[in-house]
Each structure stands twice: as C-alpha cells, then as structure tokens.
C-alpha cells in the first residue's frame, strides 16, 4: 500500500543526526533478535544511493556479532536512526522507520521476522 517511492526525512530525537531516504516503505520488518527487539526497531533496507546523511552529530558506534553492521546512535538522545552494513548484494543501509519524521506512526505494517532463531 505504501509502494510509491518517495523521499522521506528522518532524524534522531534531538535532531543532531538527520537524513533523507528514498523508499516505498515496502517489506518493513520487526525482528526478535536480541538487538532489534531491545531497540524496538522497525526496519527497511535500502541501497546506499537511496540514502543521504544531512547532519551527522556526535555518535557512538556499537558493534557485536560478526561486526558487519555498524550500529551508531546519537550521543545526546540515544536514538539510532540507521545502520550501515553488508548484504550478499553489497552495501546496504538499514533504516529505523520509527525515526522518519514525515511518516504517520502506525501508518505502516511490518512483518515479524524470527531473527532470534537464525
């Protein structure tokens, strides 16, 4: 239902980190792995060329597992807006859909993914 590709704005809570992403908001997922579940992520994945960082305030990087995904969160408000990682098809960006500022909360549906069992 949200398949028209549009450029959306996103930011952390305090606004130190801001970005733009062009996406149709298809294929959203919620994952129950130890990390996604704790952070309450709703994610969509895009190619790097669909993504632009507008403001990159001080962030802390959190790495775990195979260290393939660079989880960075705002040092001031603690919100993680996006993550850079590698997929079998090359670099990808995971967008935390909950940090898009022009998308109505709950105006989307996300599929539940059993990341805990992977």
User: Phi-psi category of 67—alpha, beta or left, where left has phi over 0 and alpha has psi -120 to 50?
Assistant: left
Which residue's C-beta sits nearest to Zn ion?
74
Pick 52 or 116: Cβ nearer Zn ion: 52
Helix (H, G, I), strand (E, B) or coil at 105: coil
Which residues in 63-102 contact Zn ion (CB under 5 A)? 74, 76-77
Binding of Zn ion by 18 (CB under 5 A): no
Pick the stretch among 4-12, 44-52, 64-72, 88-96 that binds Zn ion (CB under 5 A). 4-12
Q: How far is 32 from 34, CA to CA, in rounded Å?
A: 6
Q: Can you give the length of the chain in residues? A: 118
Binding of Zn ion by 21 (CB under 5 A): no
Pick the stretch among 13-21, 29-37, 62-70, 93-101 that binds Zn ion (CB under 5 A). 13-21
Residue with tokens 């960006």: 93
């Amino acid at each position: 239902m949200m398949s028209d590709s549009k450029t959306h704005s996103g930011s952390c809570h305090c606004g130190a980190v801001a970005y733009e992403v062009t996406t149709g908001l298809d294929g959203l997922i919620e994952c129950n792995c130890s990390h996604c579940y704790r952070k309450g992520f709703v994610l969509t994945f895009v190619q790097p060329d669909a993504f632009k960082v507008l403001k990159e305030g001080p962030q802390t990087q959190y790495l775990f597992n195979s260290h393939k995904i660079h989880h960075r969160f705002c040092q001031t408000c603690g919100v993680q807006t996006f993550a850079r990682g590698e997929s079998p098809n090359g670099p990808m960006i995971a967008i935390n859909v909950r940090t898009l500022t022009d998308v109505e909360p709950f105006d989307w549906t996300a599929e539940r993914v059993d990341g805990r069992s992977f």
